[in-house]
Amino acid sequence: MFGSRRPLVFDAQRLRLPAGVWCWRRRALLLQFLGTVVALGWISGDWAKLATMAVFWAIGFGRLSPAEVTIAVVVDLLFVAMDEAALKQRIFAFRHPDVGGLPIYEYFLWGFYILHAVRFLGGPGGHPRRMLWALGLAAAFSLCFSTITNPLMLALTAGAVLVASLGIFHEPTDLAFTAYMAAMGMAVEYVGVATGQWSYPHAPLGGVPLWSFVMWCGVGIFSSRLLVPFLRKSPLPLHQAATDSRTEPRSSAPPRVQ
């Protein structure tokens, strides 16, 4: 059972991932994310955190395409605006803000999260179908976090939008982004809260409210629908070519007789 690769290849194709999920590049990306989380929680000083993170990002990503840089900048600007709105609603607060109520690394983190997920999950694979539906649901989802202050009501309302979104968009790529972004988010949130980087008022045991999990899931599915289609030409993992060559139809020409 463990010697056969058939189940892994099948799952990879369903999720539009290259075969060999635990290849060296994915290991490097996991180490990149781990290094970012360690820097977030245990490097002293916000500028030092950012500098350390930048080293991990450069090593893990290598050269970024113009599309990736553009998406990262747009995502960072969007989430800075959302952070500022959330700060005004007082649904969370940073312990050591630098500029505009945010630590300096927060101005770059969300672009990293999105690019990391895209690279780890195999780059292309998004579909721009029903883009207006995705935009409308994403706007409703974002509005929840800028208008609702009660943690339970926020979790329920945003959760309802998330469930509706998953009901409409539930292709393997959507589910993969939702699950992976949720896993990333919980690692980031619990390390950030445990090490005193930020806090949530009236948080449950563990310090992380339920709406945070809902938020990260939403970021995953809307990234799949609204961002990945624009990254279709992003660099793929090196062994993608080998996978594609294995799946190409063989020539029907008869073998040459010696």
pLDDT in the model for residue 231: 77
Asked if 67 contacts 217 with a C-beta cutoff of 8 angstroms, the reply is no
Let me know if residue 193 belongs to a domain.
yes
Q: Is the pLDDT of residue 256 over 60?
A: no
Let me know if residue 124 belongs to a domain.
yes
Q: Could you tell me the CA-to-CA distances from 236 to 120, 233, 255 in Å, in that order?
A: 10, 8, 33
Q: Is the pLDDT of residue 129 over 80?
A: no
Q: Could you tell me the CA-to-CA distances from 87 to 34, 94, 150 in Å, in that order?
A: 27, 9, 14
pLDDT in the model for residue 22: 53
Let me know if residue 112 belongs to a domain.
yes
Let me know if residue 55 belongs to a domain.
no
pLDDT in the model for residue 229: 82
Structure pTM?
A: 0.79
pLDDT band at 145 (very low <50, low <70, confident <90, very high): confident
Closest C-alpha to 222, from 119, 106, 116, 137:
137
The CA-to-CA distance between both ends of the chain, in Å, stands at: 39
Asked if 211 contacts 154 with a C-beta cutoff of 8 angstroms, the reply is yes
Q: How far apart are alpha carbons 251 and 258 in whole angstroms?
A: 19
Q: Is the pLDDT of residue 187 over 80?
A: yes
The fraction of the chain above a pLDDT of 70, given in percent, is 78
pLDDT in the model for residue 4: 40
Contact partners, residue 102, CB within 8 Å, separation at least 6? 80, 83, 84, 87, 94
Q: Which domain holds residue 103?
A: 65-235
Question: If DSSP codes are grouped into helix, strand and coil, which group holds residue 100?
Answer: coil
Number of domains in the chain: 1
Contact partners, residue 84, CB within 8 Å, separation at least 6? 100, 101, 102
Here the tokens at position 63 are 């050269």
pLDDT in the model for residue 44: 94
Let me know if residue 87 belongs to a domain.
yes
Q: Is the pLDDT of residue 244 over 70?
A: no
Q: Is the pLDDT of residue 12 over 90?
A: no
Q: Is the pLDDT of residue 27 over 60?
A: yes
DSSP 8-state code for residue 96: S
Asked if 155 contacts 209 with a C-beta cutoff of 8 angstroms, the reply is yes
Let me know if residue 133 belongs to a domain.
yes
The fraction of the chain above a pLDDT of 90, given in percent, is 56
Here the tokens at position 186 are 């919980």
pLDDT in the model for residue 128: 61
Let me know if residue 79 belongs to a domain.
yes
Strand residues in 19-107 grouped as ranges (E) = 93-94
More confident residue, 229 or 154: 154
Q: Is the pLDDT of residue 102 over 60?
A: yes
Q: Is the pLDDT of residue 18 over 80?
A: no
Let me know if residue 152 belongs to a domain.
yes
Vertex 187, ends 70 and 64: CA angle to 5°?
20
| Number of neighbours of residue 4 by Cβ within 10 angstroms | 8
- pLDDT per position as a tens digit, 68-100: 999 999 999 999 998 998 888 888 999 999 999
pLDDT in the model for residue 24: 78
